[in-house]
Chains A and B, each alone.
Chain A
Amino acid sequence: MSGTWITTRAWLLMLPLLVVMIAVIGWPLIDTVRLSFTDAKLVGTEGAFVGFGNYAKMLGGSNFQRAFITTTWFAVVSVTAEMVLGVLAALLLNQQFRGRTALRALMILPWALPTVVNATLWRLIYNPEYGALNAALTQIGLIDSYRSWLGEPSSALTALIIADCWKNFPLVALIALAALQAVPRDITAASLVDGAGPLNRFRYVIMPYLAGPLLVALVLRTIEAFKVFDLIWVMTRGGPANSTRTLSILVYQEAFSFQRAGSGASLALIVTLLVTVLAVAYAGLVRKAAGAS
């Protein structure tokens, strides 16, 4: 068979996927670009061409700048915590102890819990009057009066980060554990014989095996964290005093609560661009790491 026919056959086999992707991703994306240059409303008016007006207005506005900082903070802190906790948990699960298999099985639970259920659960735990956190902290004696964890701008974002970490560090742990198990036993044994301390062993013997998978986990988690919506919408809706309003929440409010489709679209594309830059930068990192190991 000739190469052209094989390529043509491949495209034919991909046709259904291509049609679907153009219908639900390609066309909407292009239309978002078009809308972003108009002052269209969500319902009714077609909107007039306004050039880069929406972009200028959105990028220059304090709402965007604040949401950008909030999102970055959320992503950096929760992803860092998830990576550290995940690796520590994986190192632990790679040891031999009774109940190890059961504990590994449990790790899948937070990951399997739907995000909205996770958000609801933590919202109940943080409840100012009847929440378990207030009850537990008072009973241990760490606080003497109940606090409104999600109701105060000073603690709301941290409370969200904890909820996000709890759900997602087990995934990092499972990915890291799978990588750890690929480390050949004789290599760790040899490093012991050579007298390598635990830190050196981690740095020089184990880390080369972990680096690739961990970078992939890092990319995926960072992109997810940057897009965060469900968790925040269910727990705080961006409040109190907009202290947890991330970029996705801001776009939702602009486009759907205020029905400003045009400026909402421009904001959505700014977010898309930021995510793309992140993804490309990370993909470069991943390739570099893969080449190194």
Chain B
Amino acid sequence: MERQSPAFTVFVYAAALLLAAIILAPILWLFVMSISSAADLSTKPLNWWPNEIDLSRYQVLLSTIENSAGAAFTASLFNSLKVAGMATLAAIAVAIPSAWAVSRTSSVSWSLYAVIATYMLPPVALAVPLYMGLAYLGLLNSVFGLALVYLTILAPFTTWLLKSGFDSIPKEIESAAMIDGARLDQILRLITLPLAAPVMATSALFAFLLAWDEFFYALLFTSDLRAKTLTVAISDLAGGRVSDYGLIATAGVLAALPPVLIGLVMQRALISGLTSGGVKG
């Protein structure tokens, strides 16, 4: 910057340290809990760092031995992967053609506002009929049914993000190809989609993170190992009679790992997606 007094520099560093501590302390503590022995976590005064590093809970939760605590956890992990994966693919598949259509056709662009409006709906407004509908179709407690319901959130969101991505690809490239005699599907496949690949990847990641994070519908529509997702499994642990807080923390670390890694690696893309999607609308 232009000129900085030493006092200002000290202030900036102090504030930066404070901010870092606020952000990091809770996350580090979650990790420390996950590697502390039960004894270290229940002494007074509390042991802020374990006497001995205890990784056994990671083994417990990731084991697949039948009927173990781990089996329930890994089942929910796979359910989350399946539900989020299926919902993301389906959302992207329906969002690509619609987002392109909205981006290139001004006469239908109003429909995007209807799509965005649904994103504001509280999930409770849809929950009762969705519950009855899934029950009627025999899709309660199924990963497929849950993935279908997740489209209520993912489809509008990805359409919105993809639309702003398509907007930034010049129409002229497509027009030129059309004059050269290319069909619409060729234009999309060979020109537009490759150019939109980064936006599509960001949208897919966002969709995946949203589905991974979802709790309300998962709580309502799943009941056992066949479909229960990670978020529900963790809330069961946290609200249940488990007295080993380290185990709850470990489950938290494991559930947080994929989105946190995605967040760190994709940081730039996520922020520009957030701000451009959010600001341009």
**Interface, chain A (partner B; CB < 8 A):** 3, 6-7, 9-11, 13-14, 16-18, 20-21, 24-25, 27-29, 31-32, 35, 42-43, 89, 92, 95-97, 99-100, 103, 105-117, 119-125, 127, 129-130, 132, 135, 138-139, 166, 170-171, 174-175, 178-179, 189, 192, 212-213, 216-217, 220, 223, 226-227, 229-230, 233-234, 237, 248, 251-252, 255-256, 261, 264-265, 267-269, 271-272, 275-276, 279
Given contacts A29-B125, A121-B30, A229-B215, contact A96 B1 (CB under 8 A): yes
Q: Point out the residues of chain A lying under 8 angstroms from B65, CB to CB.
A: none
* A110 and B235 within 8 A (CB): no
Apart from A7-B105, A27-B129, A275-B122, what 12 extra A-B contacts exist at CB < 8 Å? A7-B107, A11-B101, A14-B111, A99-B20, A108-B264, A110-B26, A119-B238, A132-B29, A174-B274, A234-B238, A237-B239, A268-B127
CB-contact partner of B27 in A35, A109, A220, under 8 A: A109
- Of chain A, the residue at the smallest CB distance from B47 is A135
What 0/1 readout, one digit per residue, does chain B (245-268) give for beta carbons within 8 Å of chain A? 100110110011001101110010
Contact of B98 among A13, A103, A212, A275 (CB under 8 A): A13
CB distance from B167 to the nearest CB of A (A): 15
Least CB distance from A291 to B in Å reads: 14
Chain A nearest Cβ from B30, distance in angstroms: 5
| B27 near A13: Cβ-Cβ < 8 Å | no
Q: When chains A and B are docked, how far (Å) is the Cα of A64 from the Cα of B272?
A: 39
- Using A16-B97, A120-B252, A166-B26 as known contacts, say yes or no to A89 and B263 having CB atoms under 8 A apart: no
Residue pair B128, A268 in contact (C-beta under 8 Å) = yes
Beta-carbon contact of B122 and A117 below 8 Å: no
Inter-chain contacts of A122 with B (CB < 8 A): 26
**Interface 0/1 of B202-246, CB less than 8 Å to A:** 000000010011011001100000000011001101110000010
Q: B129–A32 contact, CB under 8 A?
A: yes
The answer to whether A135 and B155 have CB atoms under 8 Å apart is no
Q: In the docked arrangement, what's the CA distance between A125 and B32, Å? A: 12
Which residue of chain A has its CB nearest to the CB of B155? Answer: A20
If the complex has contacts A120-B238, A275-B122, are A92 and B105 also in contact, measured as CB distance less than 8 A? no
B126 at the interface (CB under 8 A from A): yes
A18 to B12, CA, bound (A): 51
A99-B16, A115-B213 as given contacts; A7 in contact with B108, CB under 8 Å: yes
Give 12 pairs: A residue, B residue, CB < 8 Å, sorted on A: A6-B107, A7-B105, A9-B105, A24-B126, A28-B130, A43-B135, A105-B264, A105-B267, A120-B235, A175-B275, A268-B122, A268-B124
Taking chain B's interface residues, is the majority helix, strand, or loop, or is none over half, making it mixed?
A: helix
Is B186 an interface residue, CB under 8 A from the partner? no
CB contact under 8 A between A110 and B23, given known A14-B98, A132-B46? yes
Q: Which of B55-63, B144-152, B193-201 is found at the contact surface with chain A?
A: B144-152
Complex Cα gap A43–B128 (Å): 10
Task: Give the complex CA separation of A112 and B270 in angstroms.
Answer: 10
* Interface size counted on chain B using CB atoms at 8 A: 97
Question: Does the CB pair A35–B235 fall under 8 Å?
Answer: no
Q: How far is the CB of B94 from chain A (nearest CB, A)?
A: 4
Tell me whether B121 is interfacial, beta carbon within 8 Å.
yes
Please tell me if B159 contacts chain A, counting CB pairs below 8 Å.
yes
Residues of chain A lying within 8 A (CB to CB) of residue B120? 223, 275-276, 279
Establish whether residues A21 and B156, one from each chain, have CB atoms under 8 Å apart when the complex forms.
yes
Whether the Cβ atoms of B33 and A124 lie closer than 8 Å is: yes
Interfacial chain B residues near A7, Cβ < 8 Å: 105, 107-108
B52 in contact (CB, < 8 A): no
Question: Is B279 at the interface (CB under 8 A from chain A)?
Answer: yes
Complex contact B27–A17 (CB within 8 A):
no
Give CA–CA (A89, B143) in the complex, Å.
40
Partner among A10, A27, A261 whose Cβ is within 8 Å of the Cβ of B128: A261
Residues in B neighbouring A237, C-beta threshold 8 A: 239
Q: Given contacts A132-B29, A275-B122, is CB(A213)–CB(B275) below 8 Å?
A: yes
Q: List chain B residues, Cβ under 8 A from A110.
A: 23, 26-27
Residue among A27, A43, A124, A135 with most chain B CB within 10 A: A124
Q: Could you tell me the distance between the alpha carbons of A189 and B3 in the complex, rounded to whole angstroms? A: 11
Among residues of A, the one whose C-beta sits closest to the C-beta of B118 is A25
Q: Does B78 contact A (CB under 8 A)?
A: no
> Chain A nearest CB: distance from B277 CB in Å?
10
- Give Cα A92–Cα B11 distance, bound, in whole angstroms: 10
Beta-carbon contact of B126 and A256 below 8 Å: no
Q: Pick the contact of B2 from A178, A189, A275, A276 — CB < 8 Å?
A: A189
